[in-house]
Structure 1
């Protein structure tokens, strides 16, 4: 009888069993409209089968008052302050790679994966000698990495994206 010596245990949920499984992508919590059709129907009908839940009461004004507009334009929000530094974004028809003060974000169609700066161990940039594929690989641990690719419209755009991403990495990424 053979026994396995290594402690390499494969996760139960893997691509071989679930083709929709992609490591690093978050699944919506159970009971939300995205995963539960009955919940979606309830949200459309409203709490007691009446008007939809997003319907506004008639006594609520639709437009903000002048004082609310002045307050909104005078005071910068926290999101604006966080976005003051360099921001990188590379997109094509299906995907996007974004890096800002929060971390690196990959998007492919309707799926997103977020990686915060404190969990990232290394970031690799790959540009082919021939072709226009821009690849960014995020290493989160010694044995786990995730990559995303976007296609540039010109070869010069690859050089621009590389320089922009280097500026963001220099500003926010701290090697430990």
Structure 2
């Protein structure tokens, strides 16, 4: 059998220098070292005070307040010591310790939930076949029942099948 020679593959996967515009950190440091103080004249810089704006206060853009859910619709707020699950008119929000995930209703393809002992688990499914579960622990079984009732009402109100 005759062997064929395969040319070597070049590209960024094999050699990062293949990507135009990328340089190693050593190249930048070497370029900075070439400029010495004797090559560059010394200049004195004086800070300039910013001038007062001529625009009235009304013309300046004001930060928009964060959107809040209307108080008249059903809302689920289930919290435990580490996290929370919130379902309202804006969508579904999960928190766990210092992490937060927000899903608006237009980016959710399905919401499912389940209970186990005193734990409520809510899973959000997105159109790209990903799912994001979060769970909270209820202090007692009556609170768990209350949360599932609130969740049913909120999903019936806001989520369209």
For structure 1, which runs of at least 5 residues remain unmatched after alignment? 1-47, 49-76
Q: TM-score, normalised by structure 2?
A: 0.56
Gaps spanning 5+ residues in structure 2: where? Answer: 1-46, 48-64
Name the CA shift for 1:154/1:174 in 2 (closer, same or farther; >3 Å): same
Paired with 1:136 and 1:93, the residues of 2 have a C-alpha distance of 17
Aligned to 1:62: none
Corresponding residue number in structure 2 for 1:170:
156
Cα distance in 2 for partners of 1:140, 1:81 equals 22
TM alignment of 1:104-143, pairs within 5 A: 104-128=92-116, 131-141=117-127, 143=129
CA RMSD across the alignment: 2.1
The equivalent of 1:87 in structure 2 is 75
Is the CA contact 1:83–1:101 (under 8 Å) kept in the aligned structure 2? Answer: no
Q: After the TM superposition, which residues 2-13 of structure 1 pair with which residues of structure 2 at under 5 Å, given as runs?
A: none
Distance, in Å, in 1 between the alignment partners of 2:152 and 2:128 is 22
Give the Cα–Cα distance (whole angstroms) in 2 for the partners of residues 152 and 167 of structure 1. 19
- Name the residue aligned to 2:147: 161
Deviations 1:20-48 (A, max 9, x none): xxxxxxxxxxxxxxxxxxxxxxxxxxxx9
Hey, what's the Cα distance between the residues in 1 that align with 2:134 and 2:124?
9
- Structure 1 residues 26-79: Cα deviation after superposition (integer angstroms, max 9, x where no partner): xxxxxxxxxxxxxxxxxxxxxx9xxxxxxxxxxxxxxxxxxxxxxxxxxxx995
CA distance in structure 1 between the aligned counterparts of 2:69 and 2:122, rounded to whole angstroms = 26
Task: Give the aligned partner of residue 96 of structure 1.
Answer: 84
Q: Which has the larger radius of gyration?
A: 2
Evaluate the alpha carbon distance shift between residue 119 and residue 81 of structure 1 in structure 2; reply closer, same or farther with a 3 A threshold: closer
Cα distance in 2, alignment partners of residues 91 and 162 from structure 1: 13
Instruction: Please state whether the residue corresponding to 2:160 is helix, strand or coil.
Output: coil
Which string of whole-angstrom CA distances, capped at 9 and with x for unpartnered residues, describes residues 120-164 of structure 1?
111111102xx2111000001252000101000001111111000
TM-score (norm 1): 0.52
Give 4+ residue runs of structure 1 displaced > 3 Å after superposition: 77-81
